[in-house]
Structure 1
Amino acid sequence: MSKAIIKTAKGDMTVEFYEKDAPKAVENFKKLAKEGFYNGLTFHRVLPDFVIQGGCPFSREDATAHKAGAGGPGYHIDCELTGENQYHDRGVLSMAHAGRNTGGSQFFICHSRNNTAHLDRNHTCFGKVIENVDVVDDIKQGDRILSIDLIED
């Protein structure tokens, strides 16, 4: 299984990808990470006991800017909702979207299972934080993604 390290000033989170359940989402995320797309973007949406969300190119300058949360890579990918790991639990990495099949670069990481069941089979789960999940709790709105480094097995 391939993995990635999401590096932030609050710490590094190691993610393991759900390549079998969400191959398109994983391939897209890895492509953008290799291109450096995520470097310097902020977590523009942080909702305690729910999610931290990043990946909007409009957040590069200011996480509170009017357009933060409205951007993407210039294309959409389809949702992948049928795999066995399609449930939102603590540390799960999932595609944000503005409606079915409109995902692109924005993603979120879940704080817990408490308030996320309604996301199951609506948003594509494509990985999970397997090391340092406590960093999710430390992220505040405006904290930056320093880089995302891929680890291929």
Structure 2
Amino acid sequence: MLKAEMLTEKGLMVITFFEEDAPIHVKNFVDLSKKGFYDGVTFHRVLPDFVIQGGDPTGTGAGGPGYTIPCELTGNNQYHDRGVLSMAHRGPNTGGSQFFICHSRNNTAHLDRRHTCFGKVVEGLDVIDQIRQGDQIISVTIIEEEA
């Protein structure tokens, strides 16, 4: 079982992944994290009671890793609840490195099965509410645990 520890300026969030439902997205996020891609990147978009968004190395909302991955929308965990980690994109099959984390279920139902949910914050939910636009991701550490 894979987990991630996302250390931000506002604290630590522990994320579990939906490996069965979104294997491409999980592998992509894990690979980028292991390369240090997210280290020092900011949350460039923060919308209260909706989402915090990061993963753009340019900080503008237009950057990415230089490639795209296909959406994975058929799994059981494709619902945008509080703490869910989901892939941001400009349209189907255009995601790459940008992700968002949901503040709550309020205002997110329209995202279900349109954006791939690939994990969930299971510790540090309070950190989501403290993040402000421009706050930095200090590091993302991947932890591999035996099931």
Normalization by structure 2: what TM-score?
Answer: 0.98
The DSSP-based 3-state class of the residue aligned with 2:105 is: coil
Alignment-derived partner of residue 110 in structure 1: 102
After TM superposition, what 4+ stretches of structure 1 lie above 2 angstroms from structure 2?
A: none
* 1:41-60 matched pairs, under 5 angstroms: 41-59=41-59
Counterparts of 1:49-128 in structure 2, within 5 Å, are: 49-59=49-59, 68-128=60-120
Within 2, Cα distance between the matches of 1:56 and 1:97?
Answer: 11
Gaps of 5+ in 1: 60-67
Does structure 1 residue 131 correspond to structure 2 residue 126?
Answer: no
* Aligned mates of 1:10, 1:76 — CA distance in 2: 29
- CA offset at residue 57 of structure 1? 1.1
What is the aligned partner in structure 2 of residue 65 from structure 1?
none
Secondary structure at the counterpart of residue 62 of structure 2: coil
2:128 aligned counterpart, secondary structure = helix
For this pair of structures, how many residues does the alignment match? 145
Instruction: Give identity over the alignment, percent.
Output: 71
1:150 aligns with 2:125: no
3-state SS of paired residue (1:140): coil
Q: Deviations over 1:35-72 (max 9, x none)?
A: 0000000000000000000000111xxxxxxxx00010
Residue aligned with 1:26, SS: helix
Distance 1:136 1:146 in 2: 15
Instruction: Identify the residue that residue 12 of structure 1 maps to in structure 2.
Output: 12
Q: What is the match of residue 62 of structure 1? A: none
How many Å apart are 1:9 and its aligned residue? 1.4
Kindly provide the amino acid, as one letter, of the partner of residue 40 in structure 2: G
Partner of 1:31: 31
1:96, 1:9 → 2: CA distance?
Answer: 22
Q: Which runs of 5+ in 2 are unaligned?
A: none
Which amino acid in 1 is paired with 2:143?
Answer: I
Give the Cα separation in 1 of the matches to 2:10 and 2:56. Answer: 19
Please report how far the alpha carbon of residue 133 of structure 1 lies from its aligned counterpart in structure 2 after TM superposition.
0.7
Any idea what SS the aligned residue of 1:58 has?
coil
TM-score by length of 1: 0.94
Partner amino acid for 1:26? V
Q: Secondary structure at the match of 2:94?
A: coil
Q: SS in structure 2 opposite 1:134?
A: helix
